[in-house]
Structure 1
Amino acid sequence: MTHPVIQLPALIAHRGYSAAAPENTLAAVRAAYEAGSTWVELDVQLLGDGTPVIWHDSDVARCSNGRGGLASMSWAKAQTLDAGGWFDDRFAGEKMPSLSEMLALLNELEMGVNMEIKVNKGRDPIALVERALPEMLDTLPPERLIISSFNAAALGHCRQFASKERLALGVLFGNVPKSWREQCEAIEAFSVHTHWPRLKRAQADAMQRDGYQILCYTANDPSAFHSRWEWGIGSVITDEPAAFKRFLDSH
């Protein structure tokens, strides 16, 4: 639905500028900012001790020099990990950021964030919302915050904290189901977030008629995505914000 204050940018940097820096880190957000992005997409989940952190996977193996699941990890343990060297030696020593650290940087840079409530298998969506959402609402103004999730329980609980005027919610879909409209209505959603190759033109048209903003993830080839702008897409979530910006500036 139309939000009274959010002005979506054409480009949102996926997990920060994740083609140029290690995903979901402070470095990736700084890189997105330096490339001209005004918004980023990030993931929040809880460590085993209840600390909200910015991280995508259920474990740390892919994006750090360590092993182990977040569900059994403490903040102290997480801070011993190198979350940057796997990407490039230039980022060696980069740490897993806490939600608090990330929000401070977003405010410093005056950036907006589409924060995904990342409910990995076996994790409690309600506990995650209750630990993470109040801090986001206290820290970021409504024009710089969208909360999204694949998890309906998480989104429903988010809506209990704030009205649609204070908090924009987005429903995440891989394949858009027949029940997409009912799911959006149930939480008074602002936006629909879809995997761009799977979105059909008729679905996009229906979403627009109903007043929902459309955010497409994760597109990294500007020329392949180009025709989708004609569908009324509000934003593209991309690992390559600089490449998309160059393409849009030249067309």
Structure 2
Amino acid sequence: MTSPSPHLPRLIAHRGLSAHAPENTRAAVRAAHRAGFHWVELDVQLLGDGTPVIWHDSGMKRCSDGRGKLHKMHLEQAREYDVGAWFSAEFRGERMATLEEMLSLISRLDMGLNLELKVCRGRDPIALAKAVVPQLLEALPFERRLLSSFNYHALKQARHMAGPDELALGVLCKKLPQQWREKMDTLQAYSLHTDWKQLKEKRARMVKEAGIPLLCYTANDPLAFGPRWDWGVTSVISDDPQRFMD
């Protein structure tokens, strides 16, 4: 019997359509949908009160009008910050989205999601996986969800909670390690995700020959990226995937 697999597109919008809207926000997901992209990549981590939220950094400074570490905040505090105006006045008033809110939006838009378990320094990967996996399984069908992480322990916990026929896992890495196949087998993972600039042709072709989907982040130059399609790359995660279409 053939195992189920997500319906991965060629192009995935990184943190939503983050070249045109504030990253990891509902506005960025809506922008991706309007532009015709059916999958987005987003980051999830926990606030201090245990609420899973869509956010990349450990703190608020870069992408909001405030400061503070997420692990010291409860949801009401995080909601006080404007997370859109830093990008442009058009997005003034945007607020941080909880995982529940974002999953609801993606479900309504009939989109797919590559959700990264973002384990910042000193945070608990097990607690993050335990908080995220049940919501993800409940909100989206198998073919429209992919859970990835750089953190082995987060992925291991996710696999403990859901088998490969329930949840596809993606192994994130800066460059493909020598033992990539062993790691994939141990986690019963579905896909490999690597920095496109670190990808080497020989190893990419090995992954393709093994029948494993290979995703590349974060590529924004379609001409420079071009040869890698022939190496066997399945999908590109891009801030501005429209450039690949143009």
Q: Determine the C-alpha separation between the residues in 1 that align with 2:241 and 2:93.
A: 25
1:175 to partner: Cα distance: 2.0
Q: Are 2:136 and 1:136 equivalent residues in the alignment? A: yes
Q: Determine the C-alpha separation between the residues in 1 that align with 2:230 and 2:168.
A: 24
**1:1-251 correspondence to structure 2 within 5 Å:** 3-246=3-246
Give TM-score scaled by structure 2 length. 0.98
1:3 to partner: Cα distance: 5.0
Q: Determine the C-alpha separation between the residues in 1 that align with 2:178 and 2:40.
A: 29
Q: Determine the C-alpha separation between the residues in 1 that align with 2:194 and 2:54.
A: 21
- C-alpha contact (below 8 Å) 1:32/1:241 kept by paired residues: no
Residue in structure 2 matched with residue 249 of structure 1 by the alignment: none
Q: Secondary structure in 1 aligned to 2:67? A: coil
1:96-125: CA deviations, max 9, x gaps?
100011000000100000000000000000
AA matched with 1:125: P
Give TM-score scaled by structure 1 length. 0.96
1:219 to partner: Cα distance: 0.2
Q: Determine the C-alpha separation between the residues in 2 that align with 1:192 and 1:34.
A: 28
Q: Determine the C-alpha separation between the residues in 1 that align with 2:103 and 2:7.
A: 19
Pairs aligned (count):
245
- C-alpha contact (below 8 Å) 2:5/2:168 kept by paired residues: no
AA matched with 1:146: L
1:220 to partner: Cα distance: 0.3
- C-alpha contact (below 8 Å) 1:36/1:242 kept by paired residues: no
Q: Secondary structure in 2 aligned to 1:202? A: helix
Identity, in percent, stands at: 55
Q: What RMSD, in angstroms, separates the aligned Cα atoms of the two structures?
A: 1.0
Can you give the 5+ residue segments of structure 1 that lack an aligned partner in the other structure?
247-251
Q: Determine the C-alpha separation between the residues in 2 that align with 1:3 and 1:19.
A: 35
- C-alpha contact (below 8 Å) 2:58/2:70 kept by paired residues: yes
Q: Determine the C-alpha separation between the residues in 1 that align with 2:107 and 2:89.
A: 28
